[in-house]
Amino acid sequence: MNQKRKIRVLVAKPGLDGHDRGARIIARAYRDGGFEVVYSGLHQTPEEIVQAAIQEDVDMIGLSSLAGAHMYLFPRVVELLKEKGADDIVVCGGGIFPEEDIPQLKKAGIKEIFTPGTPLTEVVNWVKENVEPGSS
């Protein structure tokens, strides 16, 4: 049967931020959009996130951050993916970010940043339009 591949996404919260309600809401929205969502939970180091992403062969990592350490943590994830030869994995961020940080994050390799208030349909559709399952 010629089946289209399913999109696999890792939703992770790096750092010390302990509020995961937003990440869970996004995870559920992704599931409702037909994706397989590996939820790796709170307090993840960039190393743990990348290792999980590789083992799970995900197409995208969604990083959730509300606590402000994104300028270090997010680019570090991109860096580690490159080191491990896994930079085909798309990295996105969601949460609370100062406007001025966004261009820098994108320059560091974060493909898109979703701020609070973005409709869930938009978040899900972005993945469908920008992430190719199983590509590399």
Partner 1 sequence: MTLDILGTSKMSIADKIAAGDIRAVARLIRDIDDMVPEAREVLKDLYPFTGRAYVVGITGAPGVGKSTLVDQMVAHLRKAEKTVGVLAVDPTSPFSGGAILGDRVRMQRHSMDEGVFIRSMATRGYFGGLTQSTKGAIDVLDAMGKDFILVETVGVGQDEIDIVRSADTTLIVLIPGMGDDIQALKAGILEVGDIFVINKADREGADRTVSDIRLMIEMDEKRYENGWKPPILTAQAVFDKGIKEILDEVEKHATYLRSSTERQSGIKYEKVRNELAEMIKDRIVRDVLSDFIQSGEFEDAVQLVFQRKLDPYTACDNIVSKKLKPGDK
Q: Which residues bind partner 1 (CB under 8 A)?
A: 1-3, 5-6, 8, 27-28, 30-41, 44, 47-48, 51-52, 54-57, 84-86, 133-134, 136
CB distance 50 to 75 below 8 Å? no
Least separation in angstroms between CB 21 and partner 1: 15
What region does 23 belong to: left with phi over 0, alpha with psi -120 to 50, or beta? alpha
58 vs 105 by CB, closer to partner 1: 58
105 vs 127 by CB, closer to partner 1: 127
Least separation in angstroms between CB 68 and partner 1: 23
Provide the 3-class DSSP secondary structure of residue 63. strand
Q: How deeply is 69 buried, as exposed, middle or buried, from its count of CB atoms within 10 A (0-12, 13-18, 19+)?
A: middle
37 vs 90 by CB, closer to partner 1: 37
Least separation in angstroms between CB 73 and partner 1: 16
Euclidean distance between CA atoms 60 and 81, whole angstroms: 11
59 vs 105 by CB, closer to partner 1: 59
